[in-house]
Amino acid sequence: MIKNISNLGDAALYCDFGSEVNKEINSKVIRYFKSIQKENIDGINNLTPSYNKLIISFDLRKKNFKTIKKLIENLDITNDDELETNRIKIPVCCDENFSLDIKRLEKKLQITRDKIYEKFFGKEFFCYMTGFIAGMPFLGDLENELQAKRLETPRVKVPKGSVGLTEQFANVYTFESPGGWNIIGNTPQVIFDSTNENNPNLINPGDVVTFEQITKEQYYNYNE
């Protein structure tokens, strides 16, 4: 199922599953990721699944490219198991203090904000990957009508909890961070919790996510 394995530097395998972004290819990546994780191979010190790539990095004191490549090629990855998925509902408030780019989006997409929200909240998203900053989920896929490019000048600070759109994807900023996604609302829900070491991410690759619109009052009362 891996199309090609090459090296990324001297301490990582770059496993290429294809060039497209779709659930089918991504599910293969996630399946490999979970299987390798279970194997607990000595010397592997990180796995990074993404849309259509899996990067396996290793401790060069213990292993090298050839040895890890051979191990991975000889792994028996079963195709039939259903991926474990959780269904998660994320509350989002779209008050004007939170929906920083909704006006910009109305212009860019040439549709009203009501239409944008109707489509966004009516949708089931698939989590392709998490990362960039801790716990940030990359969710897809938005229909063509909701697809917009990043901001031309990224914000220096996107507020924590911001829900953003770019191209076919939605995400949630788990921390205040620089960023260029089009922000349409904010969630009071904790998406990343570093005190929960066994399960710090609320949303993990393969999960199904829906968003639910809440009022300002519900937002501020959420954690009480």
Partner 1 sequence: MNKNYFEIKRAGINTTFQDQGRSNLYHIGIPFSGAMDNRNFQISNKLVGNEVNFPIIEFAYQGPLLKYFGESINFAITGDVKFIIRKKNNTIEGKCYQSFALENGDELDIISTNKSVYGYLAVSGEFDVNYQWSSCSVNTKANIGANNGKKIEDGQKIYILNINKNLSDKKLNYINTKIENIRVIQGTNFDYFSDEGKKIFFEKEFVISKLSDRMGMRLEGSKIENIVDTNIKSEGLLKGVIQVPADGNPIIMLSDHGTIGGYPKIGVVISADYDKLVQLTPGSKIKFKKVELADAETLFKLYDLETQNLISQI
Contact positions vs partner 1 (CB under 8 A)? 6-12, 14, 19, 21, 33, 44-55, 57, 60-61, 64-65, 129-136, 138, 174-175, 177, 192, 194, 197, 200-201, 204-205
CB of 75 to partner 1, least distance (A): 17
Give whichever of 12 and 90 is closer to partner 1, judged by the CB atom. 12
Report residue 59 as tokens. 């401790």
What does the radius of gyration of the chain's CA atoms come to, in whole angstroms? 19
Q: Which is nearer to partner 1, 11 or 214 (CB)?
A: 11
Least distance in angstroms from the C-beta of 114 to partner 1: 31
* Nearer residue to partner 1 within complex by CB, 185 or 205: 205
Distance in Å, CB of 102 to partner 1, minimum:
24
99 or 187, CB closer to partner 1?
Answer: 187
Nearest approach, Cβ of 116 to partner 1 (angstroms)? 23
